[in-house]
Amino acid sequence: MASSYNHVAGQSVERLAALSDGIFGVGMTLLVLDLRTPALEAVRGEHGLWGALAGILPQLVMYMMSFITLGIFWVGQQTQLNLLERSDRHLTWINLGFLFSVTLLPFSTKLLAEYYPYRAALLAYWFNIVLLGGSLYASWGYAVRHRLLRADTPADVPAAVCGRIRTAQALYAFGALLCLVDTRISIGFIVLVQLEFALAPRFRPRRSPIPTPSQTLDP
Amino acid sequence: MASSYNHVAGQSVERLAALSDGIFGVGMTLLVLDLRTPALEAVRGEHGLWGALAGILPQLVMYMMSFITLGIFWVGQQTQLNLLERSDRHLTWINLGFLFSVTLLPFSTKLLAEYYPYRAALLAYWFNIVLLGGSLYASWGYAVRHRLLRADTPADVPAAVCGRIRTAQALYAFGALLCLVDTRISIGFIVLVQLEFALAPRFRPRRSPIPTPSQTLDP
Amino acid sequence: MASSYNHVAGQSVERLAALSDGIFGVGMTLLVLDLRTPALEAVRGEHGLWGALAGILPQLVMYMMSFITLGIFWVGQQTQLNLLERSDRHLTWINLGFLFSVTLLPFSTKLLAEYYPYRAALLAYWFNIVLLGGSLYASWGYAVRHRLLRADTPADVPAAVCGRIRTAQALYAFGALLCLVDTRISIGFIVLVQLEFALAPRFRPRRSPIPTPSQTLDP
Amino acid sequence: MASSYNHVAGQSVERLAALSDGIFGVGMTLLVLDLRTPALEAVRGEHGLWGALAGILPQLVMYMMSFITLGIFWVGQQTQLNLLERSDRHLTWINLGFLFSVTLLPFSTKLLAEYYPYRAALLAYWFNIVLLGGSLYASWGYAVRHRLLRADTPADVPAAVCGRIRTAQALYAFGALLCLVDTRISIGFIVLVQLEFALAPRFRPRRSPIPTPSQTLDP
């Protein structure tokens, strides 16, 4: 009976995607909830409000970085789920572990924002990123090994996904190590890695009006 | 490897739409969370409660305006996504930037509600609207340039979408400029622009029971 | 240009449904957030905790009633959206108005819970229900008039939906009127109407193992 | 008219799934919101922060257990909904009851975390699990009796689902009974049952590169 249940449990990739979007959506919105408007009694005149807003700026930058981190892992998980033919019970639980790490990120971000000169805060933040990357890596490995990928997945994609996660985690680990010198150098390095992963062009943007063969082959 | 990853990453318009709906849904609900019921000890008798409720009214109107702003941009993004054949990594990140601006709106609304006589508050609110409109404009431009639109998109729609965003942003910018006179005139003007975009009929409502050709052509 | 934009804007019923599910999901979850665990210092021994939990019970019942109210309107809107072939800009905005009333419900529920002996609180709560029912009614009327329904909609359904909303609103209005006698009678009556709409069987549950023709005709 | 309305109301399994994902997503994210970063003034030096973080650990473990509980019931409901051909009004309301119990879980978890030596807290937590399991059981029974399952549901699955819920509830009830000895033994036992349901392999993981017939038959 148990085996028969396990064959039908947790097979829906759509439901997993929907739950993930819900959790990411709430997490991304809550990050900004902590931004407080300046206290009315503390602000004197137009000048005072500009000053108070400038005082909020570092906090805003910090939340933007968290949003980008969540964005990076959202795109990463989305790419995996799009390539799945179906899910199963075990893959679902690996992804629930990933989502648990996602819900922790607002906490570790706030911790790092408040205690940025402390190595403990930096290592806690880094540990969160290791959990995120590690569970995505485990999820992909499991999907490949158990043949859950769509038949039309390009042959070089499985290795590309693994390589990408390994490279990112190696860079994050190096960034964390830099805290032996100074935690601010660590944070700066990690931020650069994230911006590179989120924003840097990895190939020349295609602006030619004539589609190339590879474009037309895109699903 | 990177190029192969980028070909499969971020292609799902459905996932982007689902994340957007999650973020808009949370944002729209959180706006009203700040409405507090009157303190029990401050209310004396039926009359007192009516008075307390009347005191909440301006706050309620403010949140309604925010809800309408979010609604306008939700409809705007939805219209774009509906016309996309597929997404790609870069378009996904442009839209994540748009969603980041969405999460900021509850903050800048609260700021404006508390500091409405201050130009700094008005300009911060206007800057948020510029971010929203600017990222939607960039998203559409990118989609058109990289041929991500559905083949059945009517030929005049791309220009119509751009024109609409440009007109709205020009009106908002004019409204912001009015703060040189008085911030309250600015706010009034911006509210009128939003109501016009949200509610005003742009063509005579079709009440005829016989469908016109254009109606039957609607997808 | 505006007309061409309006033809493609807001047509996705799926997106509207997804936004609605997000807003209802957040609203339903937030209702229970106000339940506070008893303060540690106030509780003495096993007996004290049972007492403290019993003290929370009325609050719990109140939130259950709100959850049921949200459930009733969620089912009502869902039924409408399922019957739509497509949406348009105006229908989308009517539904955004409906969703705005949904986000107000946690507030008016808390108001009623705290001020139940006051007519002002009861009328505010009733006004919220009028907004919910009224916008659903407007949404349905618009969809019928503009032929947005699916072709396979049973012929008697449009009138049935209208009739159902009218009956419910008449009963709610009568309940609100009862506050001239006593607000508690009003609340009791409204709760009964809601339970009847949510839970009472409207036809004998079909337990026969042989499907009747009407069942097989169900889409 | 009522009967005709009931035939079309609440039929969408997709909408029910989307609402469920929204509620689970919010619930899973809110659990971690209560994690507070240590107060700045209480932390002295690197050592102090490590100590403060270690102090948060039990709370973190507690929330992880709640996340797993929500995960177990999310997988359970998902499995049911995936097997449904369609829903109806009554099944929808049974599932809304299930979702109401889901929204209560963060409250009963916090109660248990704060009052773990009290039987009242343990029994309240257990009652919540009974509500969750009971509503899932009722939902499945209703779906089977009213022939709402998909035609391709394997013949042994209906009994497997029922058996699984019954076994789990029997184990939870036994765990709750253990509170006659000591509530901590109860909690330990319930945690073991949950880990077993969430994580323990129920059949040898299939690592063979050649798909077995049953695998290829998986939908």
B15 within some domain: yes
The whole-angstrom separation of Cα D38 and Cα D51 is 10
C219 within some domain: no
Per-residue pLDDT at A211? 40
Among candidates D25, D100, D110 on the partner chain, residue whose Cβ is nearest the Cβ of C67: D100
User: Quick one: average pLDDT of C41-60?
Assistant: 86
The whole-angstrom separation of Cα B32 and Cα C109 is 13
**Which among D191, D193, D134 has a CA at the least distance from the CA of D168?**
D193
Question: Which residues face C84 on adjacent strands?
Answer: C149
User: Quick one: average pLDDT of D173-179?
Assistant: 93
* Top mean-pLDDT range of A94-98, B38-42, C180-184: A94-98
Per-residue pLDDT at D38? 85
CB contact burial C77-104 (16+ within 10 A = b; e otherwise): bbbbbbbbeebbbbbbbbbbbbbbbbbb
Cβ contact, residue pair D25, B25, below 8 Å: no
Is the pLDDT score of B174 beyond 70? yes
User: Quick one: average pLDDT of A177-203?
Assistant: 83
Cβ contact, residue pair C50, D120, below 8 Å: yes
Task: Check if the beta carbon of residue C88 is closer than 8 Å to that of residue C11.
Answer: yes
Is the pLDDT score of B182 beyond 70? yes
Mutant choice from A19, A119, A182 vs D, greatest count of D C-beta within 10 A: A19
The whole-angstrom separation of Cα C132 and Cα C103 is 10
Is the pLDDT score of D119 beyond 60? yes
Per-residue pLDDT at B5? 66
Name the more confident of B2 and B81: B81
Name the more confident of A130 and A9: A130
B1 within some domain: no
Per-residue pLDDT at D191? 87
B214 pLDDT band, cuts 50/70/90, is very low
Euclidean distance between the first and final Cα of chain B, in Å? Answer: 39
Instruction: Give the type of residue at D7.
Output: H
- Domain of A101, in residue numbers: 9-35+43-200
User: Quick one: average pLDDT of B67-77?
Assistant: 92
Among candidates B5, B93, B107 on the partner chain, residue whose Cβ is nearest the Cβ of A161: B5
D90 within some domain: yes
Chain B residue whose CA is closest to D26:
B26
Residues of D in contact with A21 (CB under 8 A): 21, 25
Residues of D in contact with C53 (CB under 8 A): 120, 124
Name the more confident of A144 and D219: A144
Q: What is the ipTM of this complex?
A: 0.84
- Which residue is listed with tokens 């309301």? D93
Cβ contact, residue pair A37, B12, below 8 Å: no
Is the pLDDT score of D69 beyond 70? yes
Question: Which residues face D84 on adjacent strands?
Answer: D149
* CA count, 13 A, side-chain hemisphere, A85: 14
Name the more confident of A127 and B62: A127
Tell me the backbone φ, ψ of residue C10, rounded to 5 degrees: 65, 25
A97 within some domain: yes
How far is C203 from chain B, CA to nearest CA, in Å?
35
Residues of A in contact with B121 (CB under 8 A): 49
Helix axis angle, C13-33 relative to A13-33, nearest 10°?
60
Among candidates C50, C160, C206 on the partner chain, residue whose Cβ is nearest the Cβ of D5: C160
Structural domain count of chain D:
1
- Which residue is listed with tokens 């709100």? C66
Cβ contact, residue pair C25, A22, below 8 Å: yes
The whole-angstrom separation of Cα C59 and Cα D8 is 34
The pTM of the full predicted model, rounded to 2 decimals, is 0.86
Per-residue pLDDT at C25? 93
Residues A10-34 have pLDDT tens digits of 778 889 999 999 999 999 988 777 7
Window 143-162 of D, Cβ < 8 Å to C:
145-147
Is the pLDDT score of A89 beyond 60? yes
Residues A76-86 have pLDDT tens digits of 999 899 899 88
A34 touches chain D (CB under 8 A): no
**Eight-state DSSP code of residue D203:** S
Tokens of B200: 């005003």
Residues A99-121 have pLDDT tens digits of 999 999 988 888 888 888 899 99
- Worst-scoring range by mean pLDDT, A135-139, A215-219, C39-43, C128-132? A215-219
Q: What is the mean pLDDT of chain D?
A: 84
Residues of A in contact with B115 (CB under 8 A): 37, 40, 43, 49
* Top mean-pLDDT range of A44-58, A132-146, C191-205: A132-146
Per-residue pLDDT at D209? 43
Question: Partners for A (CB, 8 Å, 3+ pairs)?
Answer: B, C, D
A219 pLDDT band, cuts 50/70/90, is very low
Name the more confident of D197 and C22: C22
**What is the share, in percent, of chain B residues with pLDDT greater than 90?**
42
Is the pLDDT score of C6 beyond 90? no
C31 within some domain: yes
User: Quick one: average pLDDT of C153-165?
Assistant: 88
Cβ contact, residue pair C107, B214, below 8 Å: no
How far is B66 from chain C, CA to nearest CA, in Å?
11
Rg (CA), chain D: 21
Q: What is the mean pLDDT of chain C?
A: 84
Name the more confident of B196 and C126: C126
The 10 Å Cβ neighbour count of residue A189 is 18
Is the pLDDT score of D180 beyond 70? yes
A85 within some domain: yes
Per-residue pLDDT at A19? 93
Name the more confident of B91 and C213: B91
Angle at C160 between CA C158 and CA C163, to 5 degrees: 110
C207 within some domain: no
